[in-house]
Structure 1
């Protein structure tokens, strides 16, 4: 993997999101930029991180929204229509603690059986970091501000609100681990 998968991911995400959901596309581009920066701590996995960051929200595309749960819809699209790399598909399916949201939606078994979590903690954490330190418009933010923004947008009692409150400690811990890994990199 590498430049070719990153280029493919960008073309695909742009085709599905840029016109239909421009704000989501702006967020996606910001997440991908963070992934390029974080890639230094991942070595050969930097390309799959950038591709996953670029494709993480593709399931929001109106034509792909079959279940209404974007991680599952996006992963199925990548697997079924594009035969995408299994690691990439599993990252998209499980990004930012999606399993907790799947549970809130009654889709936990479906997500877990089709797309098991990757046993690659730094890669999984890196995608959480990229998503949860990027605003809806693609700018930088802290994970605390991002969680607060999501709660404000969806409300405490919503499915997303319940999920994000449950996931917040895990999100903050993942972001902290990536920040520590970045700080440990030689300058």
Structure 2
């Protein structure tokens, strides 16, 4: 948490609030991940670290954040790959002409529930850290960036995948014994 707080809380307080909310969601879904619960928690804390102004090299936060974690912190490979590919980043990387770079440096993890869980945490948290639905979150992103922007085009393409990930996590949570 210290790395994310140091990089985001001062220069980007709203991004820091979002990160804290995503981390809260990760704590709530830990039970469906078993041994990977701590990895999800770490990824939730660090997923947006690449937005930090001093880290923004390419301007694509998943790639910038993953490189920072790998190069400056020697972070676990699975953690770095989760950060690099969170919330269908590969689709946005294509829009930014960074797809090959992202895919070659940080291949997708073949761990569907872990990947889905991070999508769930990110896409059910508002920019201010509050809980929301994935549908409202996608609508908010489209409204904030505009449909013709890189992010707007990406989020429209990613929306069905985002909704499917969230539904899978919600189903897994519902199946947990009370």
TM-score range, shorter chain: over 0.9
Corresponding residue SS for 2:127: coil
Matched, 1:113 2:104: yes
Q: How does 1:8-157 map to 2 (within 5 A)?
A: 10-157=1-148
Structural RMSD (CA): 0.2
Aligned-pair CA distance for 1:31 = 0.1
Determine the C-alpha separation between the residues in 2 that align with 1:54 and 1:101.
21
Determine the C-alpha separation between the residues in 2 that align with 1:127 and 1:87.
13
Aligned-pair CA distance for 1:157 = 0.1
Determine the C-alpha separation between the residues in 2 that align with 1:68 and 1:11.
23
Output the TM-score relative to the length of structure 1.
Answer: 0.95
Determine the C-alpha separation between the residues in 1 that align with 2:31 and 2:126.
22
Aligned-pair CA distance for 1:120 = 0.2
2:175 is matched with: 184
Determine the C-alpha separation between the residues in 1 that align with 2:96 and 2:105.
16
- Consecutive unaligned residues in structure 2, runs of 5 or more: none
Determine the C-alpha separation between the residues in 2 that align with 1:89 and 1:181.
25
Q: Structure 1 segments of 4 or more deviating over 2 A?
A: none
Aligned-pair CA distance for 1:27 = 0.1
Output the TM-score relative to the length of structure 2.
Answer: 1.00
Aligned-pair CA distance for 1:59 = 0.1
Corresponding residue SS for 1:173: helix
* Deviation readout 1:136-163 (Å, 9 max, x if unpaired): 0000000000000000000000000000
* Deviation readout 1:14-40 (Å, 9 max, x if unpaired): 000000100000000000000010111
* Deviation readout 1:96-120 (Å, 9 max, x if unpaired): 0000000000000000000000000
Determine the C-alpha separation between the residues in 2 that align with 1:19 and 1:39.
28
